[in-house]
Copies of this chain bind each other. A is one copy, B any other.
Amino acid sequence: MSKEIGITVKKNENFSEWYTQVVLKAQLADYAPVKGLIVLRPYGYSIWESLKSSLDQKLKTSGHESAFLPVLIPESLLRKEASHFAGFTPEVFWVTHSGDTEIGDRLALRPTSETLAYSMYSKWIKSWRDLPLKINFWNTALRAEIKSTKPFLRTSEFLWQEGHTVHTTKDEAEEEVMTILDIYKKTIEEELAIPVITGKKSEKEKFVGAVYTTTMEAIMPDGKALQMGTSHFLGQNFSKPFDVKFLDEQNVETFAWQTSWGVSWRLIGALIMVHGDDKGLVLPPRVAPIQVVIVPIYYSASDKEVVLNKATQIKDILEKKNLRIKIDARDEFTPGYKFHDWEMKGVPLRIEIGPKDLAKGKMVLVRRDDLKKIDLTFDINMEAGIINVLNEIQKTLFENAKILLKERTKKVTDFEEFKKELEKGMFLYSPWCGDQKCEETIKESTGADIRVIPFDGKSTNSPCIICKKPSQLEVIFARGY
């Protein structure tokens, strides 16, 4: 493979350029004509489809329904919850004209749909019998990014899902917030093989309009944190301005309790960063568009026929096991070229079959994660053997990501040490008094945020890392995407 086609920089030498090359060269996405927007190409979209299907199934099983909201929200409606509006307004795209006609109440492209959803919910909900209402929307959100954009991580339009639920009691709503966070964690860890730390956001970092925000944070190989998804307890902050109320069992009119939550294609960005290597993408089998690629090797026409027949046989057998499999029979490329091509695209497992292998009644499996070769004989255990290797790859990727997290996590109680460690790119568990001033001091002097106040955070006797006042909990600081 020529230099130009393959990845030309090393992951640990120029992480940002490596990332961009992988996105573009593995044909996951491409830049759209409008700055800050990307097109998701079929290979990338297929990963999104896998993720979506896995999450959608879990949401449906837990009693959520899907629906559709339009992308246009009148400015007057968006303004109804003041802090929410103030939070989003700098990045809202505004529609001012249709054809040549100016629109009076200009229209926002949805930065998120709380306001629109709840104006509808207010019409639909009459009594406790209509609750809980648990609806999820697969759509996009639009937020004009003025800072430098990056595919999947920071784009002005992004694919996501946003869930919006309504409950009769505070407890039930808070339980929903946690149910969703658990579904997210399970999906991300099992499908994407990325470990996450769950907990709450600080007051400063919570969703504008929420009572509190729960979050999942993961560490990337450059030591920066990535927010993987959030689940918000909205309390009655939106039900009051949007009039989302119900008659309870005693016929008393009551404001409802609400939640909202979302994950986006940012998860594809995490996938690339966490598992990829110098050769390109490395995909966990569960979300790989192609799980197994067969590269037939032959130099004569007679060999070609025999080898391709065998490849087709293997493909048919594996497809019956619902594996996603492809034979690369392109005549214009050498086997070596194909190996590099599929390695760059991150296909978890490659099968090589040539006349010599056939003579020995075997094929060669090559794992994408560690590039190790395994001989496998053609027998009735073949499918089980391949499925087993795929499961091993999924497991190994998750284990490696857990090692990354461990290596990049440290407990620090001293601010000088904090600054030194932060430069290395770390999740820093540090004691914090709970005062937003100390949080801001750290942000201003180091660029680090409180990423998450972990649910499993340990109580500590150490004083706050900034003001030295007593603190009860360790929180995680890091620089983030």
Interchain CA distance A100-B93 in the complex, whole Å: 9
Contacts of A66 in B (CB 8 A): 42, 45-46, 49
Contacts of A39 in B (CB 8 A): 67-70, 116, 120
Interchain CA distance A68-B123 in the complex, whole Å: 33
Q: Is the CB of B42 within 8 A of A119?
A: no
Contacts of A71 in B (CB 8 A): 71, 109, 140, 142, 157
Q: Is the CB of B99 within 8 A of A90?
A: yes
A180 within 8 A of B: no
A379 within 8 A of B: no
Q: Mark A35-55, 1 if CB is under 8 A from B, else 0.
A: 001111110111011000000
Bin the interface of chain A by size: 35 or more
Q: Is the CB of B96 within 8 A of A34?
A: no
The verdict on A42 contacting B135 (CB below 8 Å), with A32-B116, A34-B70, A157-B72 known, is yes
Nearest CB of B to A432, in Å: 32
Contacts of A68 in B (CB 8 A): 39-40, 45, 48, 159
Interchain CA distance A161-B48 in the complex, whole Å: 17
Contacts of A90 in B (CB 8 A): 99-100
Interchain CA distance A142-B103 in the complex, whole Å: 15
Q: Is the CB of B32 within 8 A of A144?
A: no
A226 within 8 A of B: no
Interchain CA distance A98-B34 in the complex, whole Å: 13
Interface centre among A32, A44, A66 (most CB of B within 10 A): A32
Contacts of A42 in B (CB 8 A): 65-67, 135
Name the residue on B nearest A90 (C-beta).
B99
Q: Is the CB of B37 within 8 A of A65?
A: no
Contacts of A94 in B (CB 8 A): 95-98
Q: CB within 8 Å of B: which residues of A? A: 30, 32-34, 37-42, 44-46, 48-49, 65-74, 77, 89-101, 107, 109, 116, 119-120, 123-124, 129, 135, 140, 142, 144, 146, 156-157, 159, 330, 332
